[in-house]
Structure 1
Amino acid sequence: MTPRKRRLLLAGLAVAMMAGEAVWLLKPPPPPPVPDFVIAPTGLVAVLEPDDIAEMPAFDPKAGRWVDGGEVLISPRSRAWLGHAAGAVGPKGRYAYVVARLPHQADAQMLHHALADIAAANVCHAGIFDPGGKLHDGKPEVFLYRIVSTRAPDGRVVACHERFDGLREPETRWLKVPGKSITAAQKRETASSPSR
């Protein structure tokens, strides 16, 4: 091979390498992975009564459904409450929430499935019961989280939209906000506030 041909070959290789690097640098980055669910802390605490624990919906991972004492539930919404934040007055202090139980061996995938079912029932505030959790005057406390969105099986991000109709109004619960107290007057005012 003559020196001229060698120079042409090396120049061609250099151009090909630069072109390949340019294509790699200009290629758009892959989209970030879609999280299975997005939740946000609310600072709200649900204080449970003994009856609440007895009728708490539990997720059955093998069957992929919710059960309550052996009874199959159509939706976790059937065990949801209408709650008000302690110290918050007016419609903005209202929350549709459910406290659920997961098996001890629950993993992130099971939690995703459970939260997606709760969000699909138009309940956007949820807590997971921990039998060994904090007690308030001997009653279990459960921290509530807002379900912002969940990932559907087809990869879409589904935002949670809360709905208040059909909830158990007679069993309206008052949710604790740490550092705030609530008066009887606030309870009456919030209870008489128009529904959203």
Structure 2
Amino acid sequence: MTWPIGPNLAPGWIAATIKEEGQARGCDNNKQRWDKMHMEPEFKEQDQVLVSTLNFNIIEGPRKMRDLFLGPFTIIKLIGKNAVEVKPTEEFSRKHAFVPVSLIKPYFQREEDKFPSRKKSPTPPEIVEVEDSPGTVKRIIKARKIRLNGKDKRQYLVRFKNQTADHDKWLAEDAIPDGNLHLRRFRASRIAEQSHKL
């Protein structure tokens, strides 16, 4: 803390002590609020936990459609109060085994015998269209130019029928089944979009 220099030290000293007291009160208020809301995790070794997918970049698909938590994983050991070491499954064996406590939550198994009146969600019947093969193109979504062997090539992002966005593929024009028809539709839709913007 710096003290004012000069013949009249009292006003500066009073202002400095008031500022210091205000900062101390603010720190105390923050600590009280934190202590009131914060609960120490009660994890033990061999507990089953779910791990947040916040930092997982190996999961495919749109971020909105991903699961928020994966697991269950077993806690091998506790590392202080702030982290745990989990035993990763084979699928996530290359993922780091140490996880902060803020990114895990306890796993509870469903117990149907305890709650017999709780209804299970019925699995929807699988819709199968006989006339469409798995490689049938639904529509072309985007176009891009890439450079292959020193030449510019155009590729198109193709969505297939009865497939999710995870299965979209970038294909060259000659690799698209019924390419002429789908490319005409794609170009017409782009022209229509541009005319609406004007």
| TM-score (norm: length of structure 1) | 0.25
Structure number with higher strand proportion: 1
Higher relative contact order (CA 8 A, sep 6+): 1
| TM-score (norm: length of structure 2) | 0.25
